[in-house]
């Protein structure tokens, strides 16, 4: 096979710009079918993005002989079911993050992929964005010396509109957790991308504002095999200034950047150097190209189930560890 014919299940907001159009822009890839629960929105999406086939039934898309591989961008609660269906038909799967509702589901998916011999990759796409690749290069080159500690801070104002029943991102039954489960996978995955494996992690979570069912405050600590300690704070219930910062402290300086921003600040001996980056048109395009290469046996898996499970283990320990 030299060209992958993709089907998308769940063509919602994340697929509008970040991912969907990229399937027609990377080499050896084309988007040929989409599914969405709302028929009107499905037809509208297909027309706007030039997708030739629409499927009102996800099972029909999965089983179509016109579809070679699946990108599953539904809410987390149904990702496992769709991915299992596809893998049992021998079709490789690209899963949005977090890869499933909970850690147990992620492990089942990994085991099924290995048992069936069907490829599975996860959308921790920041690994393939220039900003974070540059951070990795700076660290590997020893730009700030030996790294000692990492501090992740995300402060977001209370989302009072989150009470809307259509906002599944704050319903643990659908999303697994709250906004922490939606945003923190990017940050926590970068910890593993930059620094390797963890040996211990612990944390706590609470619902401070009481605006919805899920946690809105999370803090935790990750201890890495190489001795680096990472402390994280996520507060989605503040009323003051918001903050998005990933701080890496070495014995010769610091690297600081927003995970959802476009610059890196390097400080050594009191001198700051800032590197700016342009916003990519499609955030996932580089990552999707790597996934396509992997599915065509032309490259390694850019983010395996095992990679993604590391982040899920940490998130689950932070949010639910004290309850289990």
Nearest to 160 by CA among 83, 103, 216: 216
| Angle, helix 103-116 to helix 305-320, in steps of 10 degrees | 160
Q: Please tell me if the domain spanning 4-125+283-300 has the same topology as the one spanning 130-279.
A: no
| Angle, helix 130-140 to helix 179-195, in steps of 10 degrees | 40
What's the burial of 123, exposed, middle or buried (CB within 10 Å: 0-12/13-18/19+)? buried
pTM: 0.96
**Quick one: average pLDDT of 266-273?**
97
Contact status, residue 210 vs residue 159, Cβ threshold 8 Å: no
Considering the four listed CATH numbers 3.30.70.20, 3.30.360.10, 3.40.640.10, 2.40.50.180, the one that applies to the domain covering 130-279 is 3.30.360.10
Nearest to 283 by CA among 67, 132, 74: 132
Chain segment 217-259, per-residue pLDDT in tens: 999 999 999 999 999 999 999 999 999 999 999 999 999 999 9
The residue behind tokens 């396509």 is 292
Q: Which pLDDT score, from 0 to 100, does residue 212 have?
A: 92
Asked if residue 166 has pLDDT above 90, the reply is: no
How far is Cα 160 from Cα 237, in angstroms, rounded to an integer?
10
DSSP-assigned letter for residue 250 = E
Largest CA distance in the chain: 61
Contact status, residue 223 vs residue 201, Cβ threshold 8 Å: yes
CATH topology of domain 4-125+283-300: Rossmann fold (3.40.50)
Chain segment 11-54, per-residue pLDDT in tens: 999 999 999 999 999 999 999 999 999 999 999 999 999 999 99
- Torsion over CA: 159, 163, 164, 169 (sign): positive
Contact status, residue 202 vs residue 321, Cβ threshold 8 Å: yes
Give the Å distances, CA to CA, from 161 to 158, 167, 212.
9, 9, 10
Nearest to 184 by CA among 235, 130, 228: 235
Q: Which pLDDT score, from 0 to 100, does residue 161 have?
A: 78
For the chain, the domains span 4-125+283-300, 130-279
DSSP notation for 70-96: EEE-S-GGGHHHHHHHHHHTT--EEEP
- What are phi and psi for residue 219, nearest 5 degrees? -140, 150
> If pLDDT is split at 50, 70 and 90, which confidence band does 164 have?
confident
Share of the chain above pLDDT 70, in %: 99
Q: What is the mean pLDDT of the chain?
A: 96
């Amino acid at each position: 096979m030299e060209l992958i014919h993709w089907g998308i299940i769940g063509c919602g907001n994340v697929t509008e710009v970040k991912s969907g159009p990229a399937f027609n822009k990377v080499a050896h890839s084309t988007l040929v079918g989409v599914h969405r629960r709302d028929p009107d929105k499905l037809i509208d999406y297909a027309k706007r993005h030039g997708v030739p086939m629409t499927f009102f039934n996800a099972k029909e898309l999965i089983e179509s002989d016109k579809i070679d591989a699946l990108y599953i961008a539904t809410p987390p609660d149904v990702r496992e079911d769709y991915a299992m269906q596809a893998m049992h038909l021998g079709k490789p799967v690209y899963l949005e993050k977090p890869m499933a509702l909970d850690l147990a589901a992620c492990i089942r998916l990994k085991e099924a992929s290995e048992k069936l011999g069907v490829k599975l990759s996860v959308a921790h796409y920041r690994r393939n964005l220039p900003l974070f690749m540059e951070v990795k290069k700076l660290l590997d080159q020893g730009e700030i010396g030996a790294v000692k500690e990492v501090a992740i801070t995300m402060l977001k104002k209370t989302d009072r509109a989150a009470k809307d029943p259509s906002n599944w991102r704050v319903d643990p039954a659908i999303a697994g957790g709250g906004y922490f489960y939606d945003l923190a996978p990017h940050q926590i995955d970068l910890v593993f991308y930059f620094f390797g494996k963890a040996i211990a992690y612990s944390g706590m979570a609470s619902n401070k504002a009481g605006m919805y069912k899920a946690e809105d405050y999370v803090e935790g600590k990750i201890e890495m095999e190489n001795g680096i300690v990472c402390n994280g704070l996520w507060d989605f219930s503040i009323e003051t200034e918001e903050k998005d910062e990933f701080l890496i402290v070495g014995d010769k300086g610091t690297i600081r950047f927003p995970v959802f921003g476009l610059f890196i600040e390097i400080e050594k001996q009191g001198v700051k150097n800032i590197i700016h980056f342009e916003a990519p048109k499609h955030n996932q395009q580089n990552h999707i190209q790597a996934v396509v290469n992997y599915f065509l046996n032309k490259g390694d898996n850019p983010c395996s189930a095992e990679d993604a499970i590391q982040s899920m283990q940490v998130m689950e320990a932070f949010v639910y560890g004290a309850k289990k």
